[in-house]
Amino acid sequence: MNPAYHRLVPLENLKARVDALPSPSPRLQRAVAVAVVVTQALIAVTGSVVRVTGSGLGCRTWPECQPGSLVPVNHPEFAALHQWIEFGNRMFTGIVGFVAFAAFALAYLHRPRRREYVRLGLVMPVGVVVQAVLGGITVRMDLLWWTVAVHFLVSTIMIWLSVVFANAVPDPERAPVGRVPAALPGLLTGSVVVLVGLLVAGTMVTGAGPHAGDPGTERLDVPVDTLAHVHAAFLFVYLGILLAAGVLLRTGDADKALWRRYTILVAVVLGQGALGFVQYWTGVPELLVSLHVLGATGVIVATAAMWCATRDRAVAPSPAKVSVQAG
C-alpha cells in the first residue's frame, strides 16, 4: 500500500474531528475579535515605547536577543533595562500571535462556514508572522528610519484589517441595516487615501525626529519642521473630508448608529490633532510620542469602523431621484 496513504488518513481523521466540533458562540467570537483589534493596536504602542526609550537595539540581533541567548543577559555595552524593554516587546508579539490564531480558529469553526470570514481570520496570524520578520529585519538593519516606517505602516494595515475582521463576525443580534447617503461611501474612500498620506508623512516626521530607537541610528536628512507641516496639511484635508461627511449624514437618510460612529471618529481625530500640535510645541517629549501613536491607532480603528458601517448598509437614494420618482 502507498505509504502516502497512511500519512493522509490521520490528517483526514483530524479534519473530521475538527469539523465535528460545535460552532463557537457569537459572544466568544466577538470578544476574541475585539481582542485582536486591541492587541494589534497595543503592539504599535509598545513599539513606540521601545523607540522613545532608545531600546531599539537593546537586543542587538534577532531572533536571539544577544548572540547565543534568546533572553537578555548581562552585557557591558547594552543596559539591562533597554534589553528587557525590547525583549518585552518581542514577548508581547507572542500574545498578539496567540490571540490572532484563536480568532482564525473560531472563524474556521463557525457554522455555516463563511469563506470571507475565514480568509480574514487567516490574515490575522499570517500578518503577525510577517510583522515579526519585519521587526527582525529592522533590528538587523540597525533601525534605519525607513525600515522602522515600513514596520509601523504594516502595523496600521493590520489594525485596519482587524477591524474589518471584527466587523465580519456573524452576529444574529446585529441591528437591522440602515441607509447612508449615496455619496458617503466614495467620500470615505477618499478620506482613507488621505489617511494613508497622513500616516506616511507621520513616519517621515518620526524618521527625521529625535527618537530613533538608538542614539547611533542614521536619521532622515529632511528638516523636521517641513515634514511636520506636510503632516499637518494632510490632517486639515482629512478634517475637511470629515466635515463634508457630517453634512451628508445630517442632510441624508442615515441612522443614529452611523451618526454615533461618525461623532466618535471626529472626536478621536480632533483629540489626536490637538495632541500632535502640543507634541510639536513642547519639543516632542517621549510620553506624548507614545500617546500620539496610541491616538493614531484610535483614528485607524474609528475610520475603519465607519468605513465598514457604510458598506453594511443600503445606499439611500439622492433627493433628486426621490423627487423624480415621486413625480
pLDDT of amino acid 173: 66
Q: What is the pLDDT of residue 322?
A: 39
**What is the helix (H) or strand (E) element at residue 181, kind and residue range?**
strand 179-181
User: What is the C-alpha separation between 322 and 147, in angstroms, rounded?
Assistant: 52
Cell digits of residue 289: 510620542
Contacts 24+ apart (CB under 8 A), 204-209: 204/149, 204/230, 204/231, 205/231, 206/51, 206/145, 206/148, 206/149, 206/152, 207/145, 207/146, 207/148, 207/149, 208/145, 209/284
Cα Rg, the chain, nearest whole Å = 23
Q: What are the C-alpha distances in Å from 243 to residues 2, 88, 173, 277?
A: 67, 41, 31, 20
pLDDT, tens digit (0-9, with 9 covering 90-100), for 256-284: 888 899 999 999 999 999 999 999 899 88
What's the pTM?
0.88
Query: CA 176 to CA 327: how far, in whole Å?
Result: 30
Q: How many CB atoms lie within 10 A of CB 43?
A: 22
Helices and strands, number each (H, E), in the chain: 10, 2
175-327: CATH topology: Four Helix Bundle (Hemerythrin (Met), subunit A) (1.20.120)
Per-residue pLDDT of the chain (327 residues; tens, 9 = 90+): 555 545 555 656 656 666 666 778 889 999 999 999 999 999 999 999 998 888 888 888 888 888 888 888 887 777 888 889 999 999 999 999 999 999 999 999 998 888 999 999 999 999 999 999 999 999 889 888 999 999 999 999 999 999 999 999 987 666 655 677 788 888 999 999 999 999 999 999 998 888 777 777 888 889 999 999 999 999 999 999 999 999 988 886 667 888 899 999 999 999 999 999 999 899 889 899 999 999 999 999 999 999 998 876 544 444 444 343 433
